[in-house]
C-alpha cells in the first residue's frame, strides 16, 4: 500500500492536487496539509486512491498532494553537468526532485488562500521516501534559511536510516546510466544529455536486466553535497546534530517496516541480511545481533530462524532505532512526538502475519480504507473486507494527525493523551489492538531493542548501509 507506478513514467509530472470543501464566502481559513508520496524516489504519484483527500477534508483541512521528478530525472549527477555549472558559475544541483517539492510548497504559499487555506498554517507530511523528503526539507538551507517559512510542522512516517549518496557515488552512477543510453563518451556535453528522451531514461527496467542496471540508481536516497543538501554527511546527521528547522515533528514507524528491505532485488530474504551483517551463515548469537533476537523456533528449520532474525534486524536497525534517535535529537529543538504503528486490518492478518508492513499504515493515518482497502500480497484485485474495528482505528489515527495540523499538538477525543517524546523520557504512542502510551518504549520492545543493544543496532545498521549503497 502507498506505492504505485504510473505507466509509462514521464517527465511531464509537475502537477499537484488540491482537495477543498465547499465553503461560503468569508469563512475562516483552514489549515493546510501537504502530502509527499513515497516510493524510494523511483515510483509513486500523488493521485493514488490511498491518498484520497475526502476524509481529511471532511474533518476540516485543505489537502494538497504533490508529484515530483523521480529516478534519474529527479536525483542525478554527471561530469557534464558539473562542467557546465562551473563554466556558468552556478550552484551544484543534483536533487531536482527536492527542488520540485520546494516549488510546490512555494505554490501553496502563493495560491492556497484562493482555495480557502491558511498559508501560515501548513503541515508537511509523507511516508517512506516522502518522510525522508520531509526530513530533507527540514534540513535544507533552501528552506530553513528563509525569512518566511514554507511550512510550520512535519510528520515523518517510516523514515529509514540509509545515508545520502555521495558526490563520487552519484557521478559514477550517472555515468554508467548514460552509457547504457548511448551517451557514455568522455566528451559528452550537458546539451547532449538533455537531448535524450525522458521516457527512455525512466522506463529502462523492462529493457535491461537488474544486473545490467546495478550501480545506476541513487534510490532510495537523495544526493548529498549539492546546494539543496550541502551536508555531505547527510540528512540523518543534520538531525542528530540539530542543524535543522526547529519545528514540531511527529515521527514513527510500523511493526513490520523491514518488509520493504526484504523486497529489494538481491536482498529478498532475511537470511541474506543476517549473513551480510554478521558474516555468519548459522543462526547463533553473535556480538552484532542482540541475543533475544533469535526466536524460539525449535520445531522450525534453521532457514526459518535466519529469515525471522533478518526481518527483525531490517525493521529495527533501519527504522525503529532510527526514529528513536531522530526523535531524541529533535526533541532538544522543538516539540516532538513518536509513534509505533502495530495494527493490521482484521481480514488481512492471515496473509501478512508479521505485523504492519511498510506502507500499510497509510490507509489508516489518511483514513482511506474506503478508497484503497488492503489486499493480500500479489493479489491487488482481491481486497479484503474492511471491518468496523478497522474503520475505528483509521478514524483515531487520522484524528491525531488532523489535530496536529489544526493546533500543533496531536490529540484525540476518544484516544489517550499523546505526550511529547523527550530525551530521557521515551514516550511512544502505540497504535495497535488497543491504543496506549508506553514509557521507555525501546526498553520494553518485545524483541530486544533495549537501550544496552543500541551499539549493536548501530553496527548492524552501518553494515546494512553498505548493502544498500
Q: What is the DSSP string of 383-409?
A: PPPPPHHHHHHHHHHHHHHHHHHHHSS
Cell numbers found for residue 469: 549503497
Alpha carbons 234 and 92: distance in angstroms, whole number? 16
Q: What is the DSSP string of 328-355?
A: HHHTTTS-EEEEEE----GGGTTT-TTS
The catalytically annotated residue of 128, 133, 259, 271 is 128
CB 299 within 8 A of CB 143: no
CA contacts within 13 A on the Cβ side of 145: 6
Cell numbers found for residue 10: 514521464
Query: How many CB atoms are located within 10 Å of the residue 378 CB?
Result: 7
Helix, strand, or coil (residue 123): strand
Alpha carbons 425 and 440: distance in angstroms, whole number? 7
- Phi then psi for residue 63, to 5 deg, are -110, 130
Alpha carbons 149 and 132: distance in angstroms, whole number? 19
Strands (E), 86-174: 117-127, 153-157
The residue with cell 558526490 is 167
Q: Does residue 128 have an active-site annotation? A: yes
> How is the chain split among helix, strand and coil, in percent rounded to 5?
40, 15, 45
Helix, strand, or coil (residue 451): helix
Q: What is the DSSP string of 236-301?
A: HHHHHTT-S----EEEEEETBTTHHHHTSTT--SHHHHHHHHHS-SS---BTTB-GGGS---TTS-
Alpha carbons 74 and 258: distance in angstroms, whole number? 25
3-class secondary structure per residue, 57-93: HHHCCEEEEECCCCHHHHECCCHHHHHHHHHCCCCCC
Q: What is the CA radius of gyration of the chain?
A: 22
CB 46 within 8 A of CB 66: yes
Gap between the terminal Cα atoms of the chain: 25
Catalytic residues: 128
Amino acid at each position: 500500500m502507498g506505492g504505485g507506478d504510473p505507466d509509462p513514467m514521464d517527465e511531464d509530472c509537475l502537477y499537484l492536487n488540491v482537495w477543498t470543501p465547499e465553503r461560503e464566502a468569508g469563512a475562516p481559513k483552514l489549515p493546510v496539509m501537504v502530502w509527499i508520496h513515497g516510493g524510494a524516489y523511483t515510483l509513486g504519484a500523488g493521485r493514488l486512491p490511498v491518498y484520497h483527500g475526502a476524509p481529511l477534508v471532511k474533518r476540516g483541512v485543505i489537502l494538497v498532494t504533490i508529484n515530483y521528478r523521480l529516478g534519474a530525472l529527479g536525483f542525478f549527477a554527471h561530469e557534464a553537468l558539473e562542467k557546465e555549472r562551473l563554466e556558468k558559475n552556478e550552484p551544484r544541483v543534483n536533487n531536482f526532485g527536492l527542488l520540485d517539492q520546494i516549488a510546490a510548497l512555494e505554490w501553496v504559499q502563493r495560491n492556497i488562500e484562493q482555495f480557502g487555506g491558511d498559508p501560515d498554517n501548513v503541515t508537511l507530511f509523507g511516508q517512506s521516501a516522502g518522510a525522508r523528503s520531509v526530513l530533507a526539507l527540514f534540513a535544507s538551507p533552501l528552506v530553513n534559511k528563509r525569512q518566511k517559512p514554507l511550512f510550520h510542522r512535519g510528520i515523518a512516517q517510516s523514515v529509514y536510516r540509509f545515508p545520502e549518496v555521495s558526490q563520487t557515488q552519484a557521478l559514477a552512477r550517472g555515468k554508467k546510466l548514460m552509457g547504457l543510453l548511448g551517451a557514455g563518451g568522455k566528451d559528452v556535453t550537458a546539451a547532449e544529455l538533455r537531448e535524450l528522451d525522458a521516457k527512455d531514461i525512466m522506463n529502462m527496467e523492462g529493457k535491461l536486466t537488474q544486473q545490467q542496471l546495478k550501480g545506476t540508481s541513487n534510490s532510495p536516497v537523495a544526493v548529498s553535497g549539492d546546494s539543496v543538501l550541502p551536508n555531505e554527511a547527510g540528512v540523518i546527521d543534520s538531525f542528530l546534530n540539530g542543524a535543522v528547522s526547529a519545528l514540531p515533528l511527529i515521527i514513527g514507524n510500523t511493526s513490520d517496516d523491514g518488509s520493504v528491505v526484504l523486497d529489494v532485488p538481491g536482498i529478498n530474504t532475511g537470511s541474506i541480511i543476517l549473513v551480510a551483517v554478521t558474516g555468519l551463515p548459522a543462526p547463533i548469537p553473535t556480538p552484532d545481533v542482540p541475543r533475544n533476537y533469535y526466536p524460539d523456533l525449535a520445531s522450525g528449520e534453521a532457514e526459518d530462524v535466519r529469515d525471522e532474525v533478518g526481518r527483525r534486524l531490517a525493521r529495527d536497525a533501519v527504522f525503529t532505532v532510527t526514529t528513536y534517535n531522530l526523535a531524541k535529537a529533535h526533541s532538544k529543538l522543538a516539540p516532538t512526538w513518536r509513534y509505533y504503528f502495530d495494527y493490521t486490518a482484521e481480514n488481512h492478518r492471515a496473509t501478512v502475519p508479521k505485523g504492519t508492513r511498510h506502507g500499510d499504515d497509510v490507509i489508516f493515518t489518511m483514513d482511506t480504507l474506503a478508497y484503497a482497502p488492503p489486499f493480500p500480497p500479489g493479489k491487488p484485485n482481491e481486497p479484503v473486507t474492511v471491518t468496523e474495528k478497522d474503520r475505528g482505528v483509521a478514524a483515531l489515527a487520522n484524528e491525531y494527525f488532523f489535530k496536529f495540523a489544526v493546533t500543533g499538538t496531536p490529540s484525540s477525543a476518544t484516544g489517550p493523551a499523546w505526550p511529547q517524546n523527550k530525551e530521557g523520557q521515551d514516550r511512544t504512542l502505540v497504535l495497535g489492538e488497543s491504543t496506549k502510551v508506553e514509557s521507555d518504549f525501546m526498553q520494553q520492545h518485545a524483541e530486544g531493542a533495549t537501550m544496552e543493544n543500541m551499539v549493536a543496532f548501530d553496527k548492524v545498521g552501518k553494515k546494512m548501509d553498505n548493502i544498500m549503497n
